[in-house]
Structure 1
Amino acid sequence: MTLKLYFDFLSQPSRALYIFLKINKIPFEACQVALRKGVHLTEEFQKDFNRFQRVPFIHDGQFRLAESVAIVRYVSTKHSLDNNWYPKNLTEQAQVDEYLEWQHNNTRAFCAMYFQKKWLIPILTGKPTDPDQLQKYEDNMDSCLHTVETIWLANGPYITGNRISVADIFAACEIEQPRAAGYDPTEGRPVLKAWLERVRKECSPYYEEAHTVLNKLAAQGGKAKL
């Protein structure tokens, strides 16, 4: 039975998982969930699809799993992946996992929060975020991006050193997100910019495919509507 991936391309981890599965040639049925329409908020969705009412998640036959990092590990084990994207070697895998664990309270938290406060919540509520509060969110994000550039990318061209991995995919998808709110994460960060360009190239054409929606929003300089 074919794996089903439920996702929305406006979701950062959705994009990361989509790219990861495509690159590793893992067959799956693409099931898009229109978050903007609120279909995930119904009791039916919670009962029949995902108890957490979020994306991404998978159905693999009768088995259901949420949380993008857990899905990466499950799929990698089931399909016996052993490559740079998610290696079996203990220390190499641990280095990938180190970033995947770190990102939750850092790259993902700060980039997503800025995106939500600057663009998404004002669109949904019709009320802009207080400028002083928004500046704090931007400062937190700036600090996080500085850490990515000066620590995670200090010892090689990729997050874990000399080889690209799924850690780079997740990092890039999160760092792309503020572009929809009119913020360029690479401005004044040459190391980060060069790394992001490498990731885009290495993950082509799936990277561009997954970022089609976000690129359209970004082209409008933070003034796009849902």
Structure 2
Amino acid sequence: MAARKAVEVYLDLLSQPCRAVQIFLRSTKIPHTVKMVALRKGEHQTPEFAKLNPMKKVPVMVDNGFVLTESDAILKYLANTYNAPEHWYPRQPERRAKVDEYTAWHHSYTRPHAAKVFILEVLLPRMTGQPTEPAKIEKALVELGDTLEKLEAMFLKRQPFLCGDDITLADLLCICELMQPFGGGRDILQDHPQLLTWRSRVQSALKGSFDEAHSVLYRLRDKAKPKL
């Protein structure tokens, strides 16, 4: 039987879901190789990349010829296939369902609302050369604030992590999204002490893989003016 090849992943670490995939692979020590795709240079628009993912988005995973897109699916596949420590994606049905509940909610709330702040404060001004209207940013922050309150009330509650006593894929996807506005010098959790404590707990659980994956974002943050 042929030896299994290392998993290949195509990533741009300015992308929140890509960071989640890299952190998971590093944390679980799953053998892998990373192929960087620079979105800012349009490397995702090439015909070669389109053969892997017709949507021309990252991340993409290739495992022994099996191609998978979408971070949620990639993370769950890796957890199942490579027998990752059970806390990441529990086998017990009710505990697993709580992770699935968050990851389904994530795509309609945490992801778009945190990303919108980053897009308005960082990406659009870079693309257009003009600052975004303050009223648009304020509206986005209000929407994000409502999502953060729901995140606390529905998922974090009084437990250490979003789905219980241990870190799961839910925490990983969530933290990478909530870090994104850092790229514009904004810490969106500064008025949410419960989430701040949770963030510290997640960072501690992930050790060096967290800061490694976020190094590109930290460099952007260091160039930006802090938002009050």
The bucket for the TM-score relative to the shorter chain is over 0.9
Q: CA deviation at 1:221?
A: 2.8
Matches of 1:151 and 1:87, distance apart in 2: 19
Q: CA deviation at 1:205?
A: 1.0
The aligned counterpart of 1:16 is: 20
Structure 2, gaps ≥5 residues long? none
The aligned counterpart of 1:127 is: 130
Matches of 2:45 and 2:130, distance apart in 1: 22
Specify the code of the residue in structure 2 equivalent to 1:164.
I
Look up the SS of the partner of 1:219 in the other structure: helix
Specify the code of the residue in structure 1 equivalent to 2:186.
Y
- Segment of structure 1 superposing worse, 195-204 or 76-85: 76-85
Matches of 1:18 and 1:75, distance apart in 2: 11
Matches of 2:78 and 2:164, distance apart in 1: 23
The aligned counterpart of 1:34 is: 38
Matches of 1:186 and 1:23, distance apart in 2: 24
The aligned counterpart of 1:158 is: 161
Q: How many residues align?
A: 222
Aligned partner of 1:25 among 5, 29, 40: 29
Structure 1, gaps ≥5 residues long? none
Instruction: Say yes or no: does 1:219 pair with 2:218.
Output: no
Matches of 1:80 and 1:202, distance apart in 2: 19
Aligned partner of 1:88 among 74, 88, 91: 91
TM-score with structure 1 setting the length:
0.93
Q: CA deviation at 1:111?
A: 0.4
Give aligned-pair identity as a percent. 37
Counterpart mapping for 1:1-226 below 5 A: 1-47=5-51, 49-81=52-84, 83-222=86-225
- Given that 1:156 and 1:162 are in contact with CA atoms closer than 8 Å, whether structure 2 keeps it comes out as yes
- Segment of structure 1 superposing worse, 205-214 or 37-46: 37-46
Specify the code of the residue in structure 2 equivalent to 1:217.
L
Look up the SS of the partner of 2:107 in the other structure: helix
Look up the SS of the partner of 2:94 in the other structure: helix
Q: CA deviation at 1:166?
A: 1.4
TM-score with structure 2 setting the length:
0.92
- Given that 1:41 and 1:53 are in contact with CA atoms closer than 8 Å, whether structure 2 keeps it comes out as yes
Look up the SS of the partner of 1:163 in the other structure: coil
